[in-house]
Each structure stands twice: as structure tokens, then as C-alpha cells.
Amino acid sequence: MPAGTPLTEEERLSILTLREAGLSVRAISAAIKRSVGVCQKVIKRGKASCKPNHRGGKPNLTERDHRCIVRAACGGSVGAKAIKDKLQLGCCVRTV
């Protein structure tokens, strides 16, 4: 539940421009007389255009590989090693 008055567009723009100028969040909050948390939220929302960080390693199989594996497995009673060798996959047999 918000307790204070909402920020105006002018205040939001001033927060972002002061941040681009190199001021710290505390200095910005002191300059516009708002809390540090409000300034942090505005700055964080301003960076929404950035790509999110992808965590973990890249997948061993692509979507195309998955489709080929399913297609090969539906063709009959073929083992994982045979499918891996047939499709020349560079992953472990257990991945197949």
C-alpha cells in the first residue's frame, strides 16, 4: 500500500537524468526529496529495456534436435544409442 504521494513524470525524468549524470541513488534522493527506495524503483524500471540475464549453461539439444529425436523414436523400437549415432548428435546417450 503506497503511503506517500505518487511521483510525477517530471520527477521520474529528473531521477533518470541525474542517474545518467553519474549521481548516486542517495544523492538523487536528497536532491528531489524522495526516499532512496523510490529512486531505486524508478531506476530499475528505467532499465527494463535491457535483456534479462540467462542463467545456467546453454542446452545440449536444440528444438530441431528434439523434433528429430521424437521422429526417429516414433519410427520403431530403436535404442537411444542408435538414434544418437543416426542423427550424429554431440551429446550423451542419456540426453537422448
Predicted confidence at residue 53, as pLDDT, reads 72
For residues 16 and 25, the answer to whether their CB atoms sit within 8 Å is no
Residue 64 lies in a domain: yes
Predicted confidence at residue 10, as pLDDT, reads 92
Distance CA 66, CA 63 (A): 5
One domain for residues 36 and 64: no
* CATH number, domain with residue 90: 1.10.10
The parent domain of residue 71 ranges over 60-96
Residue 83 lies in a domain: yes
Residue 51 lies in a domain: no
**pLDDT tens, position by position, for the chain (96 residues)?**
567 788 899 999 999 999 999 999 999 999 999 999 999 999 988 765 566 677 888 888 999 999 999 999 997 788 899 999 999 998 889 888
One domain for residues 41 and 65: no
Q: What is the pLDDT of residues 55-70, one digit of tens each?
A: 888 888 999 999 999 9
Please count the structural domains in the chain.
2
